[in-house]
Structure 1
């Protein structure tokens, strides 16, 4: 068994976290890569008072980082950000969960093993803030993809 991944929960320097990610990838340490990546994403919501909005900011960052890496260029979720500005975080999340097909972001998060960062997982984490049909839709989508 290899060494335990370091606790990066108090590291807020983006460059240091990116260095951790690069070194972890080079050394084949997916656990360290994931820890650094998740902390990098948490930076986005650090100054937001609403816990749900802060968590969603981290989710957006995670998706943008993953898509940027995959595409080899900076990729922003412009349409989702516009909707967020227009409709707010709760309506944006509800609409994502209620869509008949999963969003590209949901599918990407599944692919990257980050189901816990999906809109659907956030809805379940903050279920008291959503209508029962939204919570049920989120549960169905996650179950469909084998996520507890």
Structure 2
């Protein structure tokens, strides 16, 4: 997957205003853009109304999935973050061909790795893994504390 190398932190004002479903971020990523993607996700979900520990947990879950896509999915992937009513939904896709099972428990302390999916599931309570011929797509979602409608100035699609 090609990577544009940047994350747009300044989306156009008014994009997707008033729609029941809004795309907050959609773009390719690679190892060099993980930090920028994390900052963009943080800004978008905060603008949508997520705050405090819920915001931190959701962002950490997404970060773990992005890092897994880079590490195990061919070095790159794509993030698609959207708000649907009072729910935030984030899909991370890559070209990997791993296991499509949600981990049942925390791996043994002596096991190298294997904690990213468990952590993402634990932090969001809702993790889904879909495997197909093109790769994996991992989806996490969380509910907003109260439907805020988000800040239309931050709703954005980047075809990157």
TM-score by length of 1: 0.30
Kindly indicate which of the two structures has a greater share of residues assigned to helix.
1
Kindly indicate which of the two structures has a greater share of residues assigned to strand.
2
TM-score by length of 2: 0.29
